[in-house]
Amino acid sequence: MVEEVLGSFKGEITQETPVFSAVKYHGKPGYELSRKGIKITPKTRLARIERIEIVDWRPSLVTLEIDCGKGTYIRSIANELGRKLVAALILKNLVRLKYGIFKIVDALTIEQWKKLVRSVLATVAVSYGQRSSNFPSAVIGEDTELTLCNGNAIPLQDCQANTLCRVYNYCGNLVAVVRFDSERNLWQPEKVFGKLDTVSVV
């Protein structure tokens, strides 16, 4: 029965927009009005379903995969499916598997992303430190390091005022490359790498 009804969803279909949606009614989103208890008449719009099929079936739980066009309301499909089957259906879970060229199988967790960013920044810091090894260097304390990492200029005693200077913290990590600002007699950050505790540049 489910398979027979699913066939009616293929191609171009007309959908009712959910009352809890960003679709605007008299200039205000539907979800905002609905949360205030204001009744609204759902609007209709066209949607396109390229594919809709059952990928898993366990009594009382059916899993569907749907290839659809932009702006399709999957929750509305669940509601309409229930109407056509004369059954009470609830959408238990909704996962977007793909959007354009982006696929969920290629996605990274937040922790994986943080690790990747730290790795890239560390590589950049080492590379920049090696390429700038002909610049003079200075070591700064923790308070000055915080000021520099926030993008602020700092005073330096160990660098000549006519060139770039490499700045390290007490852990031996490259914090930034700075340029002398003659008007303020301070060193302005040119490139800031931040606190990369795992990076050591000699």
CATH of the domain at 48: 3.30.2350.10
Q: Is 194 helix (H, G, I), strand (E, B) or coil?
A: coil
Q: Do 21 and 61 belong to one domain? A: yes
Measured distance CA(37)–CA(10) in Å, rounded: 34
Query: At 201, is the pLDDT very low, low, confident or very high (cuts 50, 70, 90)?
Result: very low
Measured distance CA(64)–CA(172) in Å, rounded: 55
Q: Do 99 and 83 belong to one domain? A: yes
Q: Is 14 helix (H, G, I), strand (E, B) or coil?
A: strand
Question: Is 134 within a domain?
Answer: yes
Query: At 47, is the pLDDT very low, low, confident or very high (cuts 50, 70, 90)?
Result: very high
CATH of the domain at 166: 2.30.130.10
Residue 195 has pLDDT above 60, yes or no: no
Residues 71-83 pLDDT 10s:
899 988 988 999 9
Total count of domains within the chain: 2
Q: Is 22 helix (H, G, I), strand (E, B) or coil?
A: coil
Measured distance CA(13)–CA(45) in Å, rounded: 8
Whole-number average pLDDT of the chain: 83
**Please, what's the largest Cα pairwise distance for the chain?**
82
Q: Do 129 and 96 belong to one domain? A: no
Query: At 198, is the pLDDT very low, low, confident or very high (cuts 50, 70, 90)?
Result: very low
pTM of the predicted protein model: 0.53
- Residue 194: name the closest of 148, 157, 159, 128 by CA: 148
Q: Do 56 and 34 belong to one domain? A: yes
Residue 61 has pLDDT above 80, yes or no: yes
For residue 148, what are the domain limits? 110-192
Measured distance CA(71)–CA(149) in Å, rounded: 43
Residue 117 DSSP class:
H
Residue with more model confidence, 199 or 138: 138
* Cα R_g (the chain), whole angstroms: 29
The answer to whether residues 199 and 128 touch, using CB atoms and an 8 Å cutoff, is: no
Question: Is 20 within a domain?
Answer: yes
Q: Is 1 helix (H, G, I), strand (E, B) or coil?
A: coil
Measured distance CA(54)–CA(57) in Å, rounded: 7
Q: Which long-range contacts (CB under 8 A, 24 or more apart) does 50-59 make?
A: 50/10, 51/10, 52/6, 52/9, 52/10, 52/77, 53/6, 54/2, 54/3, 54/6
Q: Do 79 and 25 belong to one domain? A: yes
137-139 and 164-168: which strand pairing? Answer: parallel
Residue 45 has pLDDT above 60, yes or no: yes
Chosen domain end from 105, 129, 146: 105
